[in-house]
Chain A
Amino acid sequence: MGSIAGVVVRRALSGVLTIFLLVTFVFFMMRVVGDPVASLAPEDATQEQIDALRVRLGLDGPLIVQYRDYLLGILEGDLGRSYRSNRPAVALVLERLPATLELAAVALGLAVLVAIPVGVIAAVRPGSLIDAFSRVFAVLGQSLPVFWLAILLIIVFAVNLGWFPSTGRGGIEHLVLPGLALSVYSIPLTMRLTRSALMEELGKDYIRTGRAKGLREWEVVAKHGLRNSMIPVITVLALRVGTVITGAIILEEVFAYPGLGRLGVQALQTADFPVIQAFIVFIAAVTVSINLIVDILYTVVDPRVRLT
C-alpha cells in the first residue's frame, strides 16, 4: 500500500504544479500583455482618473507584489471582488454553478439514454442499419458546430412549433433545448466507445461459457458483456469533462442561460479580472481533479499502472 500512497502524492503534486503554472500564465497574460485598467477606464478619462482607478483596484504596486498577493489570495480561497458588481468573485462562480450542473446532468442523462442503447445494438448487430446510422451520426456529431445546431433547434422548436422557450432559466422546459444540444458533445463518442468495448468483450471466452451454459442472449449481453465494457466508457467520459465545459460555455451564450459559462464570457468581455481568474482557476481545478481521481482509481484497481 505504501507505493499507492506514493503514487497518489506524486500525482497530486503534479496536479498542483499544473494549476500553479496555469494560474501564473493567466496572471501574466492579463496584467503584462493586457492592462485591466486601460480596458475599464472610460475613453476620455484623464491621467489622474486612471491612476486613481489603478489604486482603487489594487493594481498600483510592483508586479511581483501583486503576483504574491494573487497567489496568497488563491490559497485562501479569496480571488478578489468583481470590478463590476463589487461582489466576491468566488461567490459569483459558486452561485452560477448549480445552473450549469443542472444543464450538464440533463445532457449527460440524455447522452446515456441515447448512446448506450444504440451502441449496444450496433455492437450486437454489426453492419445493421442501426450500426450504419450510429456511424454516420458519430461523424456528423463531431463535425457540426453545436452552437449552430442549437440555433436550428431554436428555429424549429421555439420559433416555429413553440414547444419550448428559447432563452433563460426556469422550469424543466428551459433545460430541454440546451440539454439536447449539449448532449451532442457526448453522444457520438459514448456510442462508438460502447460499441467497440462491448464487441471486444463479447469476443471473450467467458461470454462463450455464458452462452454454453444456456443463458439467454440478453442476459449474456446486458449482465456480462455490458457491465464489463462500461469501465473504459466511463473513464473516457470522465476524462473528457473539458468538452462538456466547452459546450456549456457556448450553449449558455446561445440560450442566454445564466450559468458558469455565461459568467465567464461576460467577465472576459468586460475585462473583469477577478471573475475571469476565479472562473479559470475553477475550471482548471475541476479538470485536473478529475484526471487525478481517474489516475488514482486506476492505480488502485490495476497494479500494473504503478510500474509506469
Chain B
Amino acid sequence: MTRREGVLPHNEEVKRVAAAPEPDVALSSDEAVVPRRPRRGWRKHRLGILGLVLVGTVVLSSLIGPFFIDLDANQSDLANRLLPPGSEVNGRTALFGTDALGRDQLARVLIGGRASLSVVLLALVLGGGLGTMLGMISGFRGGWVDTTVMRLVDSFLALPTIVLAMLVAATLGGGFVNTAITLGIAGWAVYARLIRAEVLKIREEDYIGAAVALGGSDNRILMRHIGPNILSSLLVVASLELGRMVLTESSLSYLGFGMQPPDASWGSMIRQGQAYVQSAWWLSTVPGVFIAVMVLGLNLVGDWLRDILDPRNN
C-alpha cells in the first residue's frame, strides 16, 4: 500500500477530470462529488483577450503604421543595402534594417501586412460565402443536390490545401485578385461541410417544421430561420480558418505563386530574405514574426469563440 500512496493525488486528479461528463463514475468513489467549478470572470476570457490584442496590434500597425513612417516601401537605396536592425539610414533609425535593395524593412513588413491581410480577408469572403451558400443548399435540399455537392467537397478535401492552391494559382497567375480567388477556391469545402452538418441538425427542429407548416418559402426559411442559427458556428470556423489562410497565403507567396514583386507580402519577403541567410538573418526573420503573431492571435480568438459560443461548453 505504501506504493499506492505516492500515486494517490494524481489518481484523484485523473478520476475527477475523467468523471466530469459522467457523474455516476465519480459517485462510486468515496470522495464527495465536487463538480468542477465553472471558471468565472476574466480568467475564462484571458486567452481570448490576449488573442484579440495580438490580432489588433498586427492589424492596426499594418493599417495605420505606413502613414507614420512616411517612406516608400518600394524605394530602393543601393547605398544602404543589407543594413542590420537599428542602423542609421539618412538620419532615421531603420528599426528592422534594410533589404538587398536598400528598402526599409519596417515599411515593407507593414505594407506587406496590408497586402497579406486584405487578400486573406477577400479570400475569406469568397471562400466562406461560396462554401456557406452551397452548404446551406446542400443540407436543406438533400437528394441529388446534396450528393453532388458533398462529392465535390470530398474531392477538394482529398488534396492538401496548398497543392490545390498552387494548382489554381499556376493556372490563374499571381497578383492580388487571383491570389484571393485561389485561396477562396482552396478553402470553400471546409465551410460547405460544416454548414451542411449544422443545417441538417437545425432542419429537424420544431420551429422549422412550424415555419414550413405556416407556408414559409424556402428562401425565407433559409434566411430567417436557418441563417441566424448557423452564424455562431460560422464565426468560429471563420476565425480558425482565417489563421490557416494566413499561413496558406504566406506559403503560397513563399513558393512564388502568390503576390508578385515588387509589392511586398510576408511570404515573398521571407523568400527573398532566404537568399541572404548567410549575411542578413533579419530579412527572413522579421516577416515570419508578424505571421506567427497574427496566426497565434487568430487561433486564440477562434478557440475562445468556440468556448463561449458553443452551448455544450456551458
Contacts and interface: CB of A to CB of B under 8 A. Distances in A.
Contact of A243 (B10, B158, B160, B273): B160
Given A143-B295, A148-B270, A211 B4 contact: yes
Contacts of A33: 171-172
Given A139-B299, A245-B160, A199 B18 contact: yes
A238 interface: no
B305 interface: no
Interface in A143-177: 143-145, 147-149, 151-152, 154-155, 159, 166
Interface residues of A, number: 60
A17 B148 CA distance: 11
Nearest to A245: B160
A181 B295 CA distance: 18
Contact of B278 (A21, A143, A159, A264): A159
Given A217-B7, A268-B170, A280-B163, A18 B288 contact: no
A130 B285 CA distance: 28
A155 B281 contact: yes
Interface string B254-296: 1111000000000100100110011001001101100110011
A33 B19 CA distance: 56
B25 interface: yes
Interface stretch (B87-95, B100-108, B126-134, B243-251): B243-251
B82 interface: no
Interface of B: 3-4, 6-7, 10-11, 13-15, 17-19, 25, 151-152, 154-156, 158-163, 166-168, 170-172, 243, 247, 250-251, 254-257, 267, 270, 273-274, 277-278, 281, 284-285, 287-288, 291-292, 295-296, 299-300
A126 B10 CA distance: 8
Contacts of A264: 163, 166
A204 B14 CA distance: 10
B224 to A, nearest CB: 32
B167 A203 contact: no
A30 interface: yes
Contacts of B296: 139-140, 143-144
B255 A250 contact: yes
Contact of A151 (B6, B156, B255, B270): B270
A246 interface: yes
A33 B178 CA distance: 13
Main secondary structure of the interface of A (DSSP, over half): helix
B292 A148 contact: yes
Contacts of A46: none
27 contacts: A14-B151, A19-B158, A21-B152, A21-B155, A22-B158, A26-B167, A123-B14, A125-B10, A126-B10, A139-B296, A142-B299, A143-B292, A143-B296, A144-B295, A145-B267, A147-B270, A148-B285, A202-B14, A203-B14, A211-B4, A242-B160, A250-B251, A254-B274, A265-B255, A268-B166, A269-B257, A283-B159
B257 A268 contact: yes
Nearest to A240: B160
Contacts of B172: 33-34
Q: Which 7 A-B pairs have the closest CB atoms?
A: A203-B18, A148-B288, A34-B171, A143-B296, A21-B155, A246-B160, A242-B160
Given A22-B159, A147-B254, 10 more contacts: A18-B151, A124-B10, A139-B296, A148-B250, A154-B277, A204-B18, A211-B7, A250-B254, A250-B255, A268-B166
A139 B304 CA distance: 13
A249 B13 contact: no
A284 interface: yes
